[in-house]
Amino acid sequence: MDQLATLIDRYTTDLGDGVHATPIPRLFLIRTSAPSLPLHVLHEPAVCIIAQGRKQVLLGERVYVYDSAKFLVISVDVPVVGQVTDASPDAPYLCLRLDLAPAAIGALMMEAGLNASGAAAPGSSLGLSPTTPALADAAARLVALLEEPRDAAVLAPLVEREILWRLLTGDQGDRLMQIAIGESRLQQVNRAIGWIKAHYARPFSIETVAREARMSPSALHAHFRAVTAMSPLQYQKQLRLQEARRLILAQTLDAASAGHAVGYDSPSQFSREYSRLFGAPPLRDAARLRAAPEALEAV
């Protein structure tokens, strides 16, 4: 972990705080030099390995706290509230994020003869497990390849496979397998999520989403809540409000225009629900975010 922290620090010092893409596909390095505000984001499927510092992520009523001793796996696109709780200029929060590719997981499962039941009920989309020395070593070697672009082109996919193998054969194996199985309950929920993301600005019925997911309405509701800790309609609301927040900040829309753009007919209802989620009315929240660059990075 010390080696991983040294490498992430080396590659992000000149870039400063934020989430930094790298030349290695799906690999991101994250640096934060102070505790952050609670940040509302739609998190994609990924594994997050902290080399230094601590973070907490809120999904529904459950709080996931992790640091260099534990890593986090996210299995579907899910709205969460993340907050770095331990970071300073002398000891910044340093994290590796590797986005998960279902095709790569599926190919590795097939090659290794790993099987999982597609009918198994999915659990929460977030999971924590101890960061083993083998996983930390592979993560450090992946980041070290940034020094050698020619080697990285050939070796990075191999190290990524090693990381996926460590995950598949560890505590998070079932969660990863569900990502890759085309007709798993998790993938059915994922189809529903994809449909809601594409149509979030318009009303829908649970029956419509259930048809897209190829599930009964009652099964969709139960499994959707198990995975995301919210109902499909609550998920839609989170997407609407996060997109409205982005429009207010990035396109300087007024609150009424932003609310209308994401599907709200009532400005007062939009303002109430925005305040309930983000803790302040739209204009005050926007002013607070503009004063916190690390918060803007996540919006």
Q: Is residue 202 part of a domain?
A: no
Nearest to 201 by CA among 232, 237, 225: 237
Do 37 and 146 belong to one domain? yes
Closest to 180 measured CA to CA, from 224, 115, 239: 115
Domain presence at residue 211 = no
Taking residues 159-180, report their average pLDDT: 92
The pTM of this model reads 0.88
pLDDT band at 218 (very low <50, low <70, confident <90, very high): very high
- Domain end, chosen from 159, 180, 201, is at 180
% of the chain with per-residue pLDDT over 70: 95
How many domains does the chain contain in total?
2
Q: Is pLDDT of 153 > 80? A: yes
Q: Is the pLDDT of residue 157 over 90?
A: yes
For residue 204, being part of any structural domain is answered with no
Range of the domain at 269: 234-298
Residues 174 and 239 in one domain: no
| pLDDT at residue number 56 | 97
Residue finishing a domain among 180, 200, 218: 180
Residue 261: how many CB atoms within 10 A of its CB? 16
Q: Where do runs of H (alpha helix) occur along 149-199?
A: 149-168, 173-180, 185-198
pLDDT attached to residue 269? 95
Within a domain: 213: no
What confidence tens digit (pLDDT) does each residue in 235-251 have?
999 999 999 999 998 88
CATH number of the domain that 111 lies in? Answer: 2.60.120.280
Q: Is the pLDDT of residue 16 over 90?
A: yes
Within this chain, do residues 19 and 157 fall inside the same structural domain, yes or no?
A: yes
Q: Give the separation between CA 142 and CA 257, rounded to whole angstroms.
A: 45
**DSSP label at 121?**
P
**DSSP states of 240-296:** HHHHHHHHHHHS---HHHHHHHTT-S-HHHHHHHHHHHHSS-HHHHHHHHHT-HHHH
| One domain, residues 32 and 129 | yes
Confidence of residue 299 (pLDDT cuts 50, 70, 90): very low
pLDDT at residue number 262: 95
